[in-house]
Amino acid sequence: MTRDDKIQEKELFIILRSGLWGKADGELSSNPDWHYIYEYAGKQQIQGLITEGISVMGVFVGIPEQIFSNLIAERSFIIKRNIQVNRVQSRLCSSLDASGIPYAILKGQAVARSYANPQIRRSGDIDILLREEDFERTNSLLSEYTQETEYHHESDLHHALHIEDVWVETHAMAKAYFTRRLDRVMEEERRRMFSESELDCYFQDSQKISIPNREYTALFLLGHILRHLTTESISMKQLCDFAIYLDAQHGSLDRSRLVKMIDDAGIRKTWLMFSVFAVEWLGLNPDKAPLYETGHSKYGLIVWNTKKKVDSLRAEAKKRKIENFWLHYLISFVEFTQRNNLLWRISKRAFFERIWREFSPLPSAFFKKLFRIGGDKFHRKRFKQ
C-alpha cells in the first residue's frame, strides 16, 4: 500500500467516525481525495454517514460541486426511502398482529433506531423472523399484497416478496452458515425466544414493531457479517450497524448471557476481532464493547485487510465475462482459495467446515453423474434393440 492510499483510508475513517458519532474526529489534509471518498461511500452504502460527517466537520470547502450535489441528493433519497420502508413495515406488522402471528423484525429499520439520526442510514429490505409453524401461513398472508415473488427456499425456510417497491423476506430459520456451532446456538435462541415470549418491541408512530431481544440481535448482527464474509462481501454499513448497536444497547445488554452465547457458538476470537475493529477503526467506546481487550490491534487490521480483499474478489468476479467453461472454473477455484485463505485468519473452524461443505458432495455427485450417464447409454441400447 502506498503512502497516498494510507492517507485516503485515514481521511475516509475520520469522516465516517464523525458522521457515525456526531462529533468531529480528527482533521483532514488540505486536499482530500473526494472522488475516492464518494465512490467508496456509494459502494459501501454509507453515503448518509459520509454526508453527515462532512456536515459535522464543516469541511464544505474544496469538495467538487458535482460530488457535493450528488451527496445531498442521495441523502434526500435515503430519507424518502426510509419513510417508504417504514410505512410498508408498519402495514405488514399490523397485518401480522391482527392474524395473531408472532414475529420479529431483524436488523434493518430496527437497528437504524440505534443511530443518532435513523433517517441517514441507508435502508435495505425488511427481514421478518418467524416460528417454523407460521412460515407458510405468513407467506400466504403477505402474498395478498403482491404478485411478485423472487424466490422460495424450502430447505432453509426463506421466502422473498416484492411489496410496494420494497423487498420483504421471511425467515423461519436464521443461520449464518459460518460454523455449525454458531448456527445451532442461533437456532436454539430463536426457538427459545419465541417459546418463552422474549421479544422486545418499539413503536413506530402508533404501530407496535416486535424485534428480537438485545443479546440475540447482537449475535445475529455478527452472524450476518460472517455470512457475507463467506459468500459475498462485507459492507461497511454492516460493520457500522454492529458498532452503533453495541453503543446504543450497552446499558441494556445482559453481558453474561451474551458472552455465554458467544462461547457456546465457539466464536470468542472472531467476536474479539470485530470488536477491535469497531473500537479502533470505527470509534466505539471500549467500555461498550463486550469482550474487547487492548493489545490486539492486529485483529482490527486483519478485519480491514480481509474486507478489502473480499471486496476486490467480488468486484473482479462481477466484471469478468469468460466464455471458456474450464477457464471460468479455474479462476473460480483461485478465488475460492484466496477467500478461504482469508477465512483461515478469521476462524480455523469455519475454514475447515467450509472446505468440507464445498468438497464433501463431490464424490457422490461424480458417481451419480457416472451412473446417470451409464443409465442413459443402457436405455439407448435397449431402445435400438
pLDDT in tens, 249-294: 999 999 999 999 999 999 999 999 999 999 999 999 999 999 999 9
| Residue range 325-353: mean pLDDT, rounded | 72
Q: Using CA of residue 156, residue 162, residue 164, residue 167, what is the dihedral sign?
A: positive
- pLDDT confidence bin for 372, thresholds 50/70/90: very low
Residues 61 and 39: beta-carbon distance below 8 Å: no
pLDDT, greater one: 203 or 153: 203
Whether residue 306 has pLDDT greater than 90: no
Provide the pLDDT confidence category of residue 70 given band limits of 50, 70 and 90: very high
CA angle, residues 186, 269, 237, in degrees to nearest 5: 65
With 0-12 CB in 10 A as exposed, 13-18 as middle and 19+ as buried, what is 376?
Answer: exposed
Q: Report helix angle 325-346 to 348-359, nearest 10.
A: 150
pLDDT the model gives residue 384: 38
In whole angstroms, give the CA distance from residue 187 to residue 181. Answer: 10
Instruction: Check: CB of residue 122 under 8 Å from CB of residue 76.
Output: no
User: Which tens digits make up the pLDDT trace of 105-120?
Assistant: 999 899 999 999 999 9
CA torsion sign, 326 to 331 to 333 to 336?
negative
